[in-house]
Amino acid sequence: MSSEIIRIHNKLKSKEISCTEFVKGKLKELEESTSNSANFLLTESALKRAQAVDEKIANGAEIGLLEGIPFGIKDVFLLQGEFASAASDFLKSYISPYTATAIQKLIDAGAIPIVKENCDSFGHGSSSENTVFGPVKNALNEKLVAGGSSGGSAVNVAKGYTLFSVGGDTGGSIRQPAGYNKVYGMKPTYGRISRYGLMAYASSTDCVGPISNSVEDISTLLNVMSGKDYHDQTSLVSSPISENIFKRKNEAPKYKIGYYKNFLDSEAIDPKIKADFLKLIDQLKLNNIEVIELDFYDSGILVSTYYTIAMAETASNLARLDGTNYGNRLTAESLKESYSLTRSENFTDETKRRIIGGNQVLSQGHSEEIYLKARAIREKIEQSFIDEFQEVDIIISPVSPTPPPKIGDNLNDPLAMYLSDAYTVGFSLGGLPTLSAPFGTETGIQITAEKMGEEKILEFVIYLRDEIYG
């Protein structure tokens, strides 16, 4: 599919549709949907914004590309004056005091937020079942999970309820649900988009990114959201993605492609996903693209390293939620008991599992053995990416080893759920840009480049879309 944003922009400009009617239609679709993808509709503010766009058009003024375009926001971002629940009981009635930088940039460009989207609570999960708003249902088959944690965001885009959505990706949360619902999802280079106003899960890998129906829109949205932000010391200056990548059709990009053989040798991989991926490798070779086999860390090591670090960071980040400053508060006999009651009653089981795990790996006597070891392995992983990108330009892999499970199937088996992140978490530890594209295997293809290599990724995915799967 080509740009949905451009298609709607042209209709608004030519007055074929009114922005108010269009936004109303999307809100209605969300309201009537049975997908559980929406936590809060932003009806009042959205209609006010839409009316302003209509007035501008009626007055003959030019509108920018994003003006009047309705979008969704994963419910872990702050939008001033609106709920930000993190899909938890803790923050179910918490109202944002300010707006996240990435969201503000979209609003400044005229885009209209219409929904806060369901997700795994605090980003903890891979299925969007860890939520107090009910499990999100897959856009293609309601019996299956939507993936996670940005499940509501991927479903809304796939269903066409939003033209795009903004997700958060710590270890795969944009890429995996995008793959499960057959849309595009990009986790940019760590720091390319400011994290200010995104509730912190694992601060050292948290990224903000777009989910959409086309590569063109991913590129537009990246350009709008990127940039250095003095509110986030890890944010970076970046150059915009060039329009030229959309003009060079028919030519095979002169990239060297790598893939991890051990990802495919793993026992956990679904045979059909493996076969389809290998077919892609053969097709690339037939098209005279150089493809190199690489060896990487075993997925067990990647998953344990990621979860050790992610749990340690989330235990620290969520320590601020004790009922004093934010969200719900339950009182008991003493202050300590009040903290304990508040936290026990308001976090989900999965979040509690991670807080306990995180505090355990950070505790005296264990931190050297576990946490510091994970940090050391992470450094080695980062180094091995640097080495590999001396040899290849792009690394491709399936997005996940298995197709989406049925809702409820993995709920009592957290380990099975953690393993579904086997192919995504490594790139998060490396801070690399990586995109999941909705073709190639049942859950898509993941395309990764070195830091700040977003343009290469997008150029290559256009080639795949038009020349291989076109």
The nearest distance, CB 243 to ligand GLN, in angstroms, is 30
Question: What is the H or E stretch that residue 39 is in?
Answer: strand 38-41
DSSP count for the chain of H helices, then E strands: 16, 11
CA distance linking residue 194 with residue 199, whole number of Å: 12
Pick 240 or 414: Cβ nearer ligand GLN? 414
CA distance linking residue 124 with residue 311, whole number of Å: 9
The interface region with ligand GLN, picked from 137-145, 167-175, 243-251, 405-413 by CB under 6 A, is 167-175
Say if residues 91 and 84 touch (Cβ distance below 8 Å).
Answer: yes
Cα atoms found within 13 Å of the Cα of residue 263, Cβ hemisphere only: 29
Residue 361 DSSP one-character state: H
The interface region with ligand GLN, picked from 6-14, 29-37, 123-131, 405-413 by CB under 6 A, is 123-131
Distances (CA, A) of 328 to 127, 201, 331, 338, 352: 25, 19, 10, 11, 16
Pick 275 or 356: Cβ nearer ligand GLN? 356
What are the tokens at 197?
Answer: 């106003």
The interface region with ligand GLN, picked from 3-11, 40-48, 170-178, 221-229 by CB under 6 A, is 170-178
Pick 99 or 126: Cβ nearer ligand GLN? 126
Is 151 among the residues that bind ligand GLN (CB under 6 A)? no
Pick 156 or 428: Cβ nearer ligand GLN? 428
Is 125 among the residues that bind ligand GLN (CB under 6 A)? yes
Phi–psi pair at 226, nearest 5 degrees: -70, 165
Angle at 244 between CA 239 and CA 248, to 5 degrees: 140
The nearest distance, CB 308 to ligand GLN, in angstroms, is 11
CA distance linking residue 146 with residue 246, whole number of Å: 30
Q: Of 54, 129, 169, 450, which lies in the binding site for ligand GLN, with binding defined by CB under 6 A? A: 169
Is 220 among the residues that bind ligand GLN (CB under 6 A)? no
CA distance linking residue 285 with residue 465, whole number of Å: 16
The nearest distance, CB 179 to ligand GLN, in angstroms, is 13
Question: What is the H or E stretch that residue 258 is in?
Answer: strand 257-260
Distances (CA, A) of 450 to 384, 393, 430, 445: 11, 8, 9, 17
- By CB under 6 A, the count of residues binding ligand GLN is 13
Angle at 217 between CA 451 and CA 185, to 5 degrees: 55
Q: Of 170, 214, 223, 448, which lies in the binding site for ligand GLN, with binding defined by CB under 6 A? A: 170
The nearest distance, CB 215 to ligand GLN, in angstroms, is 22
Q: Of 135, 152, 171, 177, which lies in the binding site for ligand GLN, with binding defined by CB under 6 A? A: 171
Is 124 among the residues that bind ligand GLN (CB under 6 A)? yes
- In the range 295-324, which residues lie near ligand GLN by CB under 6 A? 310
CA distance linking residue 225 with residue 205, whole number of Å: 18
Is 75 among the residues that bind ligand GLN (CB under 6 A)? no
Pick 292 or 319: Cβ nearer ligand GLN? 319
Q: Is 222 helix (H, G, I), strand (E, B) or coil?
A: helix
Beta-bridge partner residues of 87: none
The nearest distance, CB 415 to ligand GLN, in angstroms, is 12
Is 70 among the residues that bind ligand GLN (CB under 6 A)? no
The interface region with ligand GLN, picked from 37-45, 88-96, 121-129, 153-161 by CB under 6 A, is 121-129
Is 173 among the residues that bind ligand GLN (CB under 6 A)? yes
Beta-bridge partner residues of 293: 259
Q: Of 129, 388, 421, 450, which lies in the binding site for ligand GLN, with binding defined by CB under 6 A? A: 421
Pick 137 or 187: Cβ nearer ligand GLN? 187
Q: Which residues are catalytic?
A: 74, 149, 173
Pick 168 or 323: Cβ nearer ligand GLN? 168
The nearest distance, CB 349 to ligand GLN, in angstroms, is 13
Phi–psi pair at 330, nearest 5 degrees: -115, 140
CA distance linking residue 149 with residue 169, whole number of Å: 8
The nearest distance, CB 53 to ligand GLN, in angstroms, is 33
Q: Of 35, 149, 156, 226, which lies in the binding site for ligand GLN, with binding defined by CB under 6 A? A: 149
The nearest distance, CB 182 to ligand GLN, in angstroms, is 19
Say if residues 126 and 417 touch (Cβ distance below 8 Å).
Answer: yes
Q: Of 151, 172, 197, 323, which lies in the binding site for ligand GLN, with binding defined by CB under 6 A? A: 172
The residue assigned the tokens 């293609």 is 140
Q: Is 307 helix (H, G, I), strand (E, B) or coil?
A: helix
Q: Of 72, 113, 123, 404, which lies in the binding site for ligand GLN, with binding defined by CB under 6 A? A: 123
Pick 149 or 223: Cβ nearer ligand GLN? 149
Angle at 247 between CA 244 and CA 167, to 5 degrees: 65
Question: What is the H or E stretch that residue 374 is in?
Answer: helix 371-391
Pick 76 or 163: Cβ nearer ligand GLN? 76
Residues in contact with ligand GLN by the rule CB under 6 A: 123-126, 149, 169-173, 201, 310, 421
